[in-house]
Structure formats: structure tokens, C-alpha cells
């Protein structure tokens, strides 16, 4: 049971870090798009 | 109200007359239905399944697939020479277009049923004994359910390239919950399962023949009303 | 804000995993009490509820789209159905594993299993429909909204079958210790928050994508 627990938590940790990474990229992109938006005629 | 009826009958008669003159879909669907019944008859011979079980299965499968043929055509034919714009530009309610198409599809499927039911009864050596009204009622309810969803999705998929495959996916998946009580009802009509069923199987949660018919009526009512209301959105360009 | 949500979800889920698999562990089936298979309950029930919530969001957003015609709502609908489908897949997969451990078969046609499979197929069909409609994005959005509403008509049946119909699949569960309740509540909250975060991320991504495409067209 302990190893099951350990493997689930490490899997979850990896998922979480990947999600943080994704979050950052999506936010960067929407920020860039927002900056460009007013320039459009 | 009179305008509604005249519009309804005009489109309905147009569809039926077109079909009777061109004979495009009715012969095809009858042959397809017979082929499906034939294949299932062979399969049931091989696996020695009870014939009272395979009969309803053959009926519903042939209805579903032949129904797809007629539904796919009902708006594809309008799309072909842009006749659909004539319908859309006419000063009539779009719900009425849906209802008349639904009637036409149901009528076509009824003709199909009149031919295919004796074929199934003969092929599987079945007889509903004295339960002809029950058989007819269940078939009509299933027919309305199949046509109601199929007519709406026929309007939805008419713009797509993969028309018939998309239509079959959409119609079969939405009809799946209705097919459970429908199968149960036909099985009880042919005496393959007892009138009331208890236990934890997939079919036993319907419970009884009356409950199955109740489920089917509820599904039909909900589907017809919802499709009638949403048809305007589905057909708009 | 979203990062905070992510961190909270992370901590809740982490705690839930540890409590559920140590002090809150559920004993296995009578035939095999050491088997951990019943602990899958902590992931199974929250994901079923989450998938239903996602499909409810899809329904609301689709009706909203048909009323207002705002393109953002269509993108949110796509995000909701993708996340809902993810949770429905988790639901079916965990259910299948549980069923193998508990009853010895991977799948058996009982009402609840049948209806949850139907639910999964319905929303897969939504994605297929979405990917195979050419032409204007407006028409695609409208047609998808229509299909989403028709598909949701089948959902009440799923809920009814999961709650009120006799089945070998139990509808309720009795907790024997406070730890079990705590683990369940934590994993429930974590899963709902996770679904919300996923929808948020995906919708944000889709909105950015559509903005970029607009720029390319312009």
C-alpha cells in the first residue's frame, strides 16, 4: 500500500508541475495577444 | 391553424410523391432490411440462440439501419439542387417543416415495417400469438423515436461531406437509451422474457412491459418536442 | 488566481491520496481483504460527479450560445466537453478495474455500466460532429449546441439508473471512520477544483487560438 501511495503521489506531483508549466505558457500567450489587440485597425 | 395544416400536408405530400415517382430509397431500404434479417438468421442458426431473442434484435437492427437510409435522403435531396433555400425562404414556420418531414419519414418507415415484419416472423418462425396490437404499438413508438432524432440530424449533417456516416453515429448514439426499453418490450411481446422481470441485469431495470412502453412514450415525446424546438437553429445557414 | 487554484487543488489531492491510502484505506472484498481495489472508490465517485457537472456546464453554455450567439460560449462548450469526457473516461476505466477486482469481470451489462458507457459515447459523438462540419464557425457552433442539448436529454436516465434502480453496483457507501469521510471529501473537492482548472486552462487556450486565427485571416 505504501508503494502504491508513493507512486500515486509522485505521478500527481509530475502532473501538477506540468500543469503549472502549461498555465504559464497559456498566460504568456494571452498576455501577448492582449498587448497586440489595440493595435488592430 | 388551417395554414399550419395546409403547409404540413403540402410538404408531406411532396415528399411522398417524390419518393413514389423516383423510387429511390424505398426499394433499397427494403432490400437492406431483408439482407440484415437474413444475415442474422444465418448467425442465429450457427450460435443456436433462441429464435424469440434473435427476432426482436433483427427487427430493431433492420429498422435502425434502413431508417438511416430514408432519413439521410430527406434533407440530402433538398440540398442537391439547393431546393432547401426554397423551403427556407417560404413564409412558413420552420418547426412545420420539421413536423412534415418527420411525418414523411415515419410513413416511409411504416411502409417498410409492413413489409419487413412478416419477413422476420417467417424467418425466425415467430408469432406474437394474440398480441398484434402490442407489437404494432411498440413498433410505431420505436418508429417515431427513430424518425424524430433522425430527421433533425439529417438537417444537421446535410452540409457535411461524410454525411451518412456522421448521421449514423449521431442517431445511434442518441437512440441508445431508447433502444433498451424498446428491445425489452419486443422481447416480452414474443415471450422471450417474462412479463415482469426482477434482478440486476441490463434489461431488468425496465421491470415490466407497461414500464417499457411508458419509457418509450416519454422518450418519443421529449425527442419530438425538443427536436421541433431546436430545428430552427439546426437548419439556419 | 489560477495558479492559486492549482496549488490548492494540488494540496487537497495530495492529502487525499495519503489519507485514503494509509489511515482511511477501505478493506478489500471479503474474498480478498488485502486487495486495495476498493480504494478506487475515492477516484471513481468524484470523477463521475465531475463529468456530470461538466456536461451540465456544457448544456448551460450551449443554451446560452443559442440565445446570445457569443463565440466565447462555444469555445467554453468545447473545453467543457473535453474535460467532461476526460473524467468520464477516468470513471469508466476505474469502474472497470474495480469490477475486475470485485466481481471478476472487466465489464458486465448492468444498468449503471451501460448508461455510463452511453454517456461516454454521446460526448465522443459530439467531438466527432464538431470535427466533421465544414463551413462557417458560426454554423458549426450552432449545430453543436443543438446536439449538446439533445444529448443532455439522455443524461437524466443515467442519473436515475445510477441512484434508484436495483443493481449489483451499489449507489451509496457507508464510511466506517472519520478518516475515510475526510479523504472522500478532500478528493471530491480536489477533483471538482481540478475540473474547473482544466476547463479554465482549455478555454483560455482556445480563446487565444481563435484570436490568433482571426489575426491570420485579417
Separation of alpha carbons B206 and B185, rounded Å:
9
Contacts of residue B233 in chain C, CB cutoff 8 Å? Answer: 66, 142-143, 145-146
- pLDDT at site B90: 84
The rounded distance, in Å, linking the Cα atoms of B52 and B154 is: 33
DSSP code, position B161: S
Residue B18 has pLDDT above 80, yes or no: yes
Structural domain total, chain C:
1
More confident residue, C112 or C142: C142
Q: Return all residues near B90 (Cβ < 8 A) that are at least 6 apart.
A: none
Residues of C with CB under 8 A from a CB of B: 66, 109-111, 114-115, 118, 121-122, 124-125, 128-129, 132-135, 139, 142-143, 145-147, 149-151, 153-154, 157, 161, 165-168
Q: Write down the pLDDT at residue C165.
A: 60
Q: Of B43-57, C14-28, C58-72, which gets the smallest average pLDDT?
A: B43-57
Residue C19 within a domain: yes
Q: Where are the domains of chain A?
A: 2-36
CA B231 to chain centre: 18
Report the pLDDT averaged over residues C63-73. 92
Domain limits, chain B: 2-235
Nearest-CA distance from A26 to chain C in Å? 6
Which chain B positions have a beta carbon within 8 Å of C81's beta carbon?
A: none
Q: How confident is the model at residue A29 (pLDDT cuts 50, 70, 90)?
A: confident
Mean pLDDT along residues B171-184: 88
Contact between chains at C208 and A26 (C-beta distance less than 8 A): yes
For the ranges B128-132, B164-168, C48-52, C93-97, the lowest mean pLDDT is seen at B128-132
Whether C176 maps to a domain, the answer reads no
ipTM: 0.86
User: Least CB-CB distance to A9: which of C2, C17, C215?
Assistant: C17
Mean pLDDT of chain C: 85
Domain span including residue C126 = 2-168+190-217
Tens of pLDDT, residue by residue over B193-208, are 766 666 556 666 677 7
In this prediction, residue C26 carries a pLDDT of 76
Label residue C167 by pLDDT band (50, 70, 90).
Answer: low
SS3 B199: coil
Q: What's the CA gap between B66 and B144, in Å, rounded?
A: 14
Query: Taking CB atoms and an 8 Å cutoff, what residues of chain C touch A8?
Result: 17, 21
Q: Report the distance separating Cα C17 and Cα A2, nearest Å.
A: 11
Query: Which chain C residues are closer than 8 Å to B156 by Cβ?
Result: 129, 143, 146-147
Q: Which three cell numbers stand for residue C147?
A: 446536439
Taking CA atoms, what residue in A is nearest to C8?
A: A16
Q: Is residue C166 predicted with pLDDT exceeding 60?
A: no
Query: Is C177 inside any structural domain?
Result: no
Separation between Cα atoms, residue C166 and residue C147, nearest integer Å: 31
Choose among C14, C22, C215: nearest Cβ to A12: C14
What digits encode the pLDDT tens for the residues B54-106?
A: 888 889 999 999 999 888 888 888 887 888 888 888 888 888 999 999 999 99
3-state SS, chain C, equals CHHHHHHHHHHHHHHHHHHHHCCCCCCCCCCCCCCHHHHHHHHHHHHHHHHHHHHHHHHHHHHHHHHHCCHHHHHHHHHHHHHHHHHHHHHHHHHHHHHHHHHCCCCCCCHHHHHHHHHHHHHHHHHHHHHCCCCCHHHHHHHHHHHHHHHHCCHHHHHHHHHCCCCCCCCCCCCCCHHHHHHHHHHHHHHHHHHHHHHHHHHHHHHHHHHHHHHHHC
pLDDT in tens, C46-59: 998 899 999 999 99
Are C50 and C80 contacting, i.e. CB atoms less than 8 angstroms apart?
Answer: no
Whether C179 is in a domain gets the answer no
- State the average pLDDT over residues C184-200: 91
Q: How far is B177 from chain C (nearest CA, A)?
A: 7
Comparing C85 with B128, the larger pLDDT belongs to C85
Nearest to C150 among B198, B205, B230 (CB): B230
Place of cell 400469438: B129
Amino acid at each position: 500500500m505504501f508503494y502504491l501511495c508513493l507512486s500515486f503521489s509522485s505521478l500527481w506531483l509530475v502532473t501538477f508541475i506540468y500543469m503549472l508549466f502549461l498555465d504559464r505558457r497559456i498566460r504568456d500567450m494571452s498576455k501577448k495577444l492582449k498587448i497586440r489587440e489595440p493595435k488592430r485597425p | 391553424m388551417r395554414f399550419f395544416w395546409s403547409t404540413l400536408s403540402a410538404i408531406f405530400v411532396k415528399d411522398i410523391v417524390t419518393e413514389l415517382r423516383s423510387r429511390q430509397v424505398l426499394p433499397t431500404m427494403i432490400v437492406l432490411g431483408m439482407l440484415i434479417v437474413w444475415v442474422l438468421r444465418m448467425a442465429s442458426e450457427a450460435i443456436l440462440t433462441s429464435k424469440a431473442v434473435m427476432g426482436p434484435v433483427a427487427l430493431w437492427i433492420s429498422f435502425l439501419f434502413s431508417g438511416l437510409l430514408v432519413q439521410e435522403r430527406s434533407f440530402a435531396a433538398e440540398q442537391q439542387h439547393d431546393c432547401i433555400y426554397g423551403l427556407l425562404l417560404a413564409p412558413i414556420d420552420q418547426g412545420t417543416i420539421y413536423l412534415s418531414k418527420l411525418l414523411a419519414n415515419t410513413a416511409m418507415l411504416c411502409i417498410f415495417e409492413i413489409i419487413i415484419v412478416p419477413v422476420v416472423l417467417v424467418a425466425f418462425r415467430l408469432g406474437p400469438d394474440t398480441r398484434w396490437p402490442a407489437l404494432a404499438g411498440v413498433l410505431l413508438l420505436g418508429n417515431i423515436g427513430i424518425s424524430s432524432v433522425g430527421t433533425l440530424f439529417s438537417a444537421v449533417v446535410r452540409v457535411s461531406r461524410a454525411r451518412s456516416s456522421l448521421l449514423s453515429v449521431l442517431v445511434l448514439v442518441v437512440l441508445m437509451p431508447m433502444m433498451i426499453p424498446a428491445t425489452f418490450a419486443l422481447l416480452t411481446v414474443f415471450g422471450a422474457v417474462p412479463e415482469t422481470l426482477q434482478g440486476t441485469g441490463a434489461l431488468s431495470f425496465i421491470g415490466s412491459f407497461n414500464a417499457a412502453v411508458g419509457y418509450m412514450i416519454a422518450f418519443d415525446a421529449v425527442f419530438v418536442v425538443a427536436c421541433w424546438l431546436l430545428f430552427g437553429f439546426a437548419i439556419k445557414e | 488566481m489560477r495558479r492559486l487554484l492549482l496549488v490548492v487543488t494540488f494540496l487537497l489531492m495530495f492529502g487525499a491520496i495519503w489519507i485514503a491510502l494509509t489511515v482511511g484505506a477501505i478493506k478489500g472484498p471479503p474474498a480478498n481483504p488485502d486487495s486495495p481495489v476498493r480504494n478506487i472508490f475515492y477516484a471513481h465517485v468524484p470523477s463521475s460527479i465531475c463529468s456530470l457537472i461538466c456536461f451540465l456546464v456544457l448544456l448551460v453554455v450551449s443554451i446560452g450560445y443559442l440565445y446570445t450567439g457569443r463565440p466565447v460560449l462555444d469555445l467554453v462548450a468545447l473545453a467543457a466537453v473535453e474535460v467532461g469526457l476526460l473524467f468520464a473516461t477516468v470513471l469508466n476505466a476505474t469502474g472497470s478495474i474495480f469490477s475486475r477486482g470485485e466481481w471478476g469481470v472487466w465489464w458486465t451489462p448492468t444498468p449503471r455500466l451501460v448508461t455510463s458507457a452511453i454517456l461516454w459515447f454521446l460526448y465522443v459523438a459530439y467531438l466527432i460532429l464538431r470535427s466533421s462540419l465544414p463551413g462557417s464557425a458560426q454554423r458549426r457552433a450552432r449545430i453543436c449546441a443543438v446536439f449538446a442539448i439533445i444529448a443532455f436529454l439522455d443524461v437524466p436516465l443515467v442519473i436515475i439508473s445510477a441512484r434508484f434502480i436495483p443493481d449489483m453496483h451499489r449507489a451509496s457507501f457507508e464510511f466506517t471512520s472519520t478518516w475515510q469521510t475526510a479523504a472522500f471529501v478532500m478528493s471530491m473537492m480536489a477533483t471538482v477544483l481540478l475540473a474547473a482548472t482544466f476547463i479554465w486552462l482549455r478555454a483560455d487556450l482556445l480563446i487565444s487560438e481563435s484570436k490568433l486565427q482571426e489575426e491570420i485571416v485579417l
